[in-house]
Amino acid sequence: MTDPALTRRVLVTDAVHFAKGGKIIDALRVFFGDGLATVADGDTHLRNRRLMQPMFNKAHIATRGTAMIEQVRAMISAWDEAEPRDVYADMNDITLAAFLVALFDTDLPAHLQGEFTALMPAIMKGTIRQTVLPPWVTRLPLPANRAHAERVARLRALIDQAIDHHTSRAPYPPSESADTPTEPVGCPHAAPAQEREGLFTTLLTAEDPLTRQQLQDEVITLLTGAIETTGTTLAWTLYEIAGNP
């Protein structure tokens, strides 16, 4: 849909008449629950989108930039210059690593980050498979169906561990920590103190917090939505640069 008036009608003026559904959305909802991409209830979608939207503004992204760059540099520094690389896989791994910093902040334990990185490519492939197959096939006890369900269950368990890790930390105001970095005076993109947490912390500490199930659904949605599109764009960008140095 490329007509601005029709786009506004579907997304704004008559949005109540265009509920999410259909074969692909219904297939995704089986495994990913009611995240922003799949939730059918308009009020729930609006509430959760408004809760998360500030974490994607320019000011907040600026506070995560240094940590994300350091994460990417650490990954690249481990590459052997003489070793052939799978650029598509590497860009997806880099995108995931950077997004985990934005989502969970910089204190996500290394073993959890490693499991997220190992698990997500297989989940992405399984998700594509589940959306193109007839629904009755996806319900059969086939090895591929069972494997995908087990991976999604493991992903939810990892998210639970990340939740437990965050909630076990002793909270403190930023002003009480000598190690808390401050924004330079006059920085045009400086974020308010309440915006300097990872997105996950924001979801956990919201005035009307999400349930454990809702947290899982939103994290899965964000992970699957943020990785492959960005990773593919980076891979094609490098391809074009290599061909046109």
Q: What is the pLDDT of residue 146?
A: 95
In angstroms, rounded to a whole number, what is the distance separating the alpha carbons of residues 190 and 184? Answer: 8
* CATH code of the domain containing 230: 1.10.630.10
What's the structural domain count of the chain?
Answer: 1
Residue 28, in any domain of the structure: yes
Residue 219 CA to residue 100 CA, distance in Å, equals: 10
* Residue 96 exposed, middle or buried by CB count within 10 Å (0-12, 13-18, 19+): buried
Domain assignment present for 175: no
pTM of the complete model beyond 0.85:
no
pLDDT on residue 198: 63
Residue 13 lies inside a defined structural domain of this protein: no
Predicted local confidence at residue 148, as pLDDT: 93
Q: How far apart are CA 198 and CA 68, in angstroms?
A: 12
In 3-state terms, what secondary structure has residue 193?
helix
Query: How far is C-alpha 50 from the geometric centre of its chain's CA atoms?
Result: 16
Q: Answer left, alpha or beta for residue 189, where phi above 0 means left and psi between -120 and 50 means alpha.
A: alpha
Q: Find the domain containing 231 and state its range.
A: 19-169+186-243
Give pLDDT, residue 158: 92
Is residue 7 in a domain? no
Q: How many residues does the chain have?
A: 245
73 located within any domain: yes
Residue 11 counted as domain residue: no
Q: Is residue 9 part of a domain?
A: no
Pairwise CA distance, residues 139 & 149, whole Å: 11
Return the pLDDT at 202: 73
Tens-of-pLDDT digits for all 245 residues of the chain? 678 888 888 878 887 777 777 778 888 888 788 888 888 777 888 888 888 887 777 887 777 788 888 888 888 888 888 889 999 889 988 888 888 887 877 678 888 888 998 898 899 889 889 888 888 898 899 999 999 999 999 999 999 998 888 777 645 444 333 343 444 333 344 444 444 456 777 777 777 778 888 888 988 888 887 788 888 999 999 999 999 88
- What is residue 152's predicted lDDT score, i.e. its pLDDT? 92
Do the domain assignments include residue 86?
yes
Query: According to the model, what pLDDT value does residue 49 have?
Result: 83
**Model pLDDT, residue 196:** 44
